[in-house]
Amino acid sequence: MKKIVASFVIGDILEDHPSDLWDMVKEYAGINDRDFFTYFEGKSRAFAIGIQNLRELSDPIDPYETIPGFVPPQSYCYMDGLQVA
């Protein structure tokens, strides 16, 4: 079963044409250009969320045990009180 293994603070939100955005984020995106452009195919605008203060959790969290009625979010979920490494 999947677990929450890290937390981070949202940094800058970037918005641009996919080609221009790729030029800005390609060194940090964690994705190759083929997958990036496939994801944004046919789109004139693309977004990227900056990550700050990335912290690996010392004890990964099983959200099904921690959050009553948990349903995996489509994007992200705010959680309070996480213990980090």
Domains of the chain by residue range: 4-58
pLDDT for the residue numbered 77: 58
Q: Residue 85 has what pLDDT? A: 44
Q: Rounded to whole angstroms, how far apart are CA atoms 64 and 59?
A: 15
Burial class, 36, CB count within 10 angstroms (exposed 0-12 / middle 13-18 / buried 19+): buried
User: Phi/psi at 68 (nearest 5 deg)?
Assistant: -55, 130
Q: State yes or no: pLDDT of 1 exceeds 50.
A: yes
Q: Do residues 59 and 83 touch, judged by C-beta distance below 8 A?
A: yes
| Separation of alpha carbons 63 and 11, rounded Å | 24
The pLDDT tens digits for 36-84 are: 999 999 999 999 999 999 999 999 999 999 888 888 777 655 666 655 5
- 9, pLDDT greater than 50: yes
